[in-house]
Amino acid sequence: MSVDIGSRLRSLRMAHNLSQRELAKRAGVTNSTISLIESNASNPSVGALKRILDGIPIGLAEFFAFEPERSRKAFYRADELVEIGKGPISYRQIGENLFGRSLQILKECYQPGADTGKVPLVHDGEEGGIILSGRLEVTVDDERRILGPGDAYYFESRRPHRFRCVGPVPCELISACTPPTF
């Protein structure tokens, strides 16, 4: 049996009206540590998880007994999309709680020159997207393409990948990832 620690932590943090930054400050860890755990990109040690939970505050037993509420909401206004990005890349997620969901949908916006980083992303699942405006350079393994409006991508997320906005205008796209590991 596996426990989705990331979604569970995100649900508890949001239920206590804490930002990732505030929880990180309370727990004495970096903001990126909270982000990596919530996206299931990092699995914390029991000691690290205990320190983070002390910042909420909640005990380990309560944490593992907690069952986040599964969202039954079907429709979202533009102002209800949840910003999970930072800096020159905006990731606006449909739904604040993805617990129990198998699909993550994002409206992404890359400012000119914005890049996911020199180290390629690698995670479980599959992802795809369609460019709405601007131009996006997508690298998957050793293959690189510049995509424009109407162009799309779809690949297994275990393949190393990277995204970069090219050109003088922001690039907007809609993407989906399953399972929600971002």
Give the model confidence (pLDDT) of 86-138 as tens digits. Answer: 789 999 999 876 767 789 999 999 999 999 999 999 888 899 999 999 999 99
Task: State the pLDDT at residue 112.
Answer: 98
Q: Are 146 and 137 in contact (CB under 8 A)?
A: yes
- Beta-carbon contacts of residue 82 (< 8 Å; ≥ 6 apart): 92, 93, 95, 96
Residue 1 predicted with pLDDT over 50: no
Tokens coding 139:
């690298």
Residue 70 predicted with pLDDT over 90: no
- Beta-carbon contacts of residue 18 (< 8 Å; ≥ 6 apart): 26, 55, 56
Task: State the pLDDT at residue 99.
Answer: 67
Going by C-alpha positions, the residue among 113, 73, 89, 78 that lies closest to residue 173 is 89
